[in-house]
Structure 1
Amino acid sequence: MRRFLHCLLAVFCFSALSAQTGSITGTVSADGAPLDYATVTLKKSNYGTYSDEDGKFEFDKIPVGAYTINVSFLGYQSFDEKVVVEEGATTAMNIELMEQVGLLDEVVVTGTLKEVSRLESPVPVEVYTPAFFKKNPTPNIYEALQNVNGVRPQLNCQVCNTGDIHINGLEGPYTMVLIDGMPIVSSLATVYGLSGIPNALVERMEIVKGPASSLYGSEAIGGLINIITKNPLNAPLVSADVMATSWQEYNLDLGIKLKAGKNLSILTGANYYNYDELVDNNGDNFTDVTLQERISVFQKWNFARKSNRLLTLAGRYYYENRWGGELDWNKSYRGGDEVYGESIYTERIEFLSSYQLPTEEKLLLSTSFNSHDQNSVYGDLAYLAKQKIAFGQLTWDKQIGSHDLLLGTALRYTFYDDNTPATGGDDSNPLNQPDEIWLPGIFFQDEIVLHQQHKLLLGLRYDYNKDHGNIFTPRFAYKWSLSDQDILRLNAGTGFRVVNLFTEEHAALTGAREVVIAEQLAPEQSYNLNLNYTRKTYLPRGGFVGFELAAWYTHFTNVIYPDYETNANQIIYDNLDGRAVTKGISTNVDITLSNGLSLLLGATFMDVSTEENDIKKRQILTERFTGTWALTYQLWDHKLALDYTGNIYGPMRLPLLGELDPRAPESPVWSIQNIQLTYRGKKNVEIYAGVKNLLNWTPWKNQDFPLIARAFDPFDRGVDFDSNGNVIATETNPNALTFDPSYVYGPNQGIRGFVGVRYTLK
Structure 2
Amino acid sequence: MFSFRYSTYRLFIIVVTALLYCNNLFAQQGKIVGKITDSGKPISFVNVSLKNTTKGTSSDENGAYELEDIKPGRYVFLATALGYKNYQTTVVLSADEVFYLNIELIPNIESLDDIVVTGTLKPVSRLESPVPVEVYSPAFLQQNPTANIFEALANVNGVRPQINCNVCNTGDIHINGLEGPYTLVMIDGMPIVSGLGTVYGLSGIPNSLIAQIEVVKGPASSLYGSEAVGGLINVITKYPPTAAELAVDGYLTGWGEYNLDIGSKIDLGDKTTVLLGVNYFNYDNPIDNNNDNFTDVTLQNRVSIFQKWNFQRSKLREFSLAGRYLYEDRWGGEMQWSPEFRGTDSIYGESIYTNRWELLGKYQLPLDIPIMFSFSYTDHDQNSVYGTLPYLAQQRIGFGQLTWGPKLNSHDLLFGAALRYNYYDDNTTATSDSFGNQPDEAWIPSLFAQDEITFNEHHSLLLGSRIDYDKRHGTIFTPRAAYKWKLNDLDVLRINAGTGFRVVNLFTEDHAALTGAREVVITESLDPERSFNINLNYLKKIFSSQGTYLNFDTSIFYTYFSNRILPDYETDPNQIIYSNLGGNSISKGISGNLDLSLPNGLKVLLGATIMDVSTEENQVKTRQILTERFTGTWNVSYTVIPWKLTIDYTGNIYGPMRLPLLGELDPRDEFSPTWSIQNIQFTYKDWEGIELYGGVKNLLNWTPNRNAPFIIARANDPFDKNVTYNSNGQVVATADNPYALTFDPTYVYGPNQGIRAFFGLRYRL
Per the shorter chain, which TM-score range? 0.7 to 0.9
Give the superposition deviation at 1:720: 1.7
After superposition, the Cα gap between the structure-2 partners of 1:440 and 1:96, relative to the gap in structure 1 and judged at 3 Å, is: farther
Q: Distance in 2 between matches of 1:171 and 1:232?
A: 34
Query: Any idea what SS the aligned residue of 1:499 has?
Result: coil
Match for residue 744 of structure 1? 748
Q: Distance in 2 between matches of 1:474 and 1:753?
A: 49
After superposition, the Cα gap between the structure-2 partners of 1:509 and 1:239, relative to the gap in structure 1 and judged at 3 Å, is: closer
Sequence identity, in percent?
62
Deviations, residues 665-702 of structure 1 (Å, cap 9, x unaligned)? 00000000000110111101010010000011111014
* Contact kept in structure 2, 1:621 and 1:654, CA below 8 Å: yes
Match for residue 162 of structure 1? 170
After superposition, the Cα gap between the structure-2 partners of 1:405 and 1:33, relative to the gap in structure 1 and judged at 3 Å, is: farther
* Contact kept in structure 2, 1:323 and 1:344, CA below 8 Å: yes
Match of residue 267, structure 1, among 264, 268, 275: 275
Match for residue 297 of structure 2? 289
Match of residue 361, structure 2, among 353, 357, 361: 353
Instruction: Say whether 1:724 aligns with 2:728.
Output: yes
* Contact kept in structure 2, 1:207 and 1:225, CA below 8 Å: yes
Instruction: Say whether 1:244 aligns with 2:249.
Output: no
Match for residue 381 of structure 1? 389
Match for residue 48 of structure 1? none
Instruction: Say whether 1:542 aligns with 2:547.
Output: yes
Instruction: Say whether 1:657 aligns with 2:665.
Output: no
Structure 1: which 4+ aligned runs deviate by more than 4 Å? Answer: 28-34, 81-86, 90-97
Give the superposition deviation at 1:639: 2.2
Query: Any idea what SS the aligned residue of 2:603 has?
Result: strand
Q: Distance in 2 between matches of 1:722 and 1:93?
A: 88
Match for residue 222 of structure 1? 230
Give the superposition deviation at 1:190: 2.5
Match for residue 207 of structure 1? 215
After superposition, the Cα gap between the structure-2 partners of 1:29 and 1:468, relative to the gap in structure 1 and judged at 3 Å, is: farther
Q: Distance in 1 between matches of 2:555 and 2:237?
A: 28
Deviations, residues 314-349 of structure 1 (Å, cap 9, x unaligned)? 000000000000011111110111110000001100
Q: Distance in 1 between matches of 2:275 and 2:723?
A: 56
After superposition, the Cα gap between the structure-2 partners of 1:298 and 1:82, relative to the gap in structure 1 and judged at 3 Å, is: closer
TM-score where L is the length of structure 1: 0.87
Give the superposition deviation at 1:367: 0.3
Match for residue 424 of structure 1? 432
Q: Distance in 2 between matches of 1:103 and 1:287?
A: 47
TM-score where L is the length of structure 2: 0.87
* Contact kept in structure 2, 1:473 and 1:493, CA below 8 Å: yes
* Contact kept in structure 2, 1:608 and 1:622, CA below 8 Å: yes
After superposition, the Cα gap between the structure-2 partners of 1:325 and 1:79, relative to the gap in structure 1 and judged at 3 Å, is: same
Query: Any idea what SS the aligned residue of 1:575 has?
Result: coil
* Contact kept in structure 2, 1:104 and 1:119, CA below 8 Å: no
Q: Distance in 1 between matches of 2:451 and 2:732?
A: 61
Q: Distance in 2 between matches of 1:110 and 1:525?
A: 22
**Structure 1, gaps ≥5 residues long:** 1-27, 35-55, 59-68
* Contact kept in structure 1, 2:712 and 2:747, CA below 8 Å: yes
Q: Where do 1:7-406 residues align within 5 Å?
A: 77-80=82-85, 105-406=113-414
Match for residue 504 of structure 2? 499
Residue identity matched to 2:419: L
Match for residue 608 of structure 1? 613
After superposition, the Cα gap between the structure-2 partners of 1:30 and 1:395, relative to the gap in structure 1 and judged at 3 Å, is: farther
Q: Distance in 1 between matches of 2:135 and 2:330?
A: 31
Match for residue 435 of structure 1? 440
After superposition, the Cα gap between the structure-2 partners of 1:324 and 1:181, relative to the gap in structure 1 and judged at 3 Å, is: same
Query: Any idea what SS the aligned residue of 1:315 has?
Result: strand
Match for residue 761 of structure 2? 757
Give the superposition deviation at 1:381: 0.5
* Contact kept in structure 1, 2:164 and 2:510, CA below 8 Å: no
After superposition, the Cα gap between the structure-2 partners of 1:725 and 1:455, relative to the gap in structure 1 and judged at 3 Å, is: same
Give the superposition deviation at 1:183: 0.6
Match of residue 676, structure 1, among 671, 681, 687: 681
Give the superposition deviation at 1:500: 1.3
Query: Any idea what SS the aligned residue of 2:240 has?
Result: coil
After superposition, the Cα gap between the structure-2 partners of 1:724 and 1:188, relative to the gap in structure 1 and judged at 3 Å, is: farther
Match for residue 59 of structure 2? none
* Contact kept in structure 1, 2:355 and 2:380, CA below 8 Å: yes
Match for residue 638 of structure 2? 633
Q: Distance in 1 between matches of 2:241 and 2:527?
A: 46
Query: Any idea what SS the aligned residue of 2:509 has?
Result: helix
Q: Distance in 2 between matches of 1:414 and 1:695?
A: 44
**Structure 2, gaps ≥5 residues long:** 1-46, 54-74, 92-98
Match of residue 563, structure 1, among 561, 568, 584: 568
Q: Distance in 1 between matches of 2:533 and 2:381?
A: 35
Give the superposition deviation at 1:714: 0.4
After superposition, the Cα gap between the structure-2 partners of 1:144 and 1:83, relative to the gap in structure 1 and judged at 3 Å, is: closer
After superposition, the Cα gap between the structure-2 partners of 1:201 and 1:292, relative to the gap in structure 1 and judged at 3 Å, is: same
Please say which of residues 720-729 and 393-402 is displaced more in the overlay: 720-729
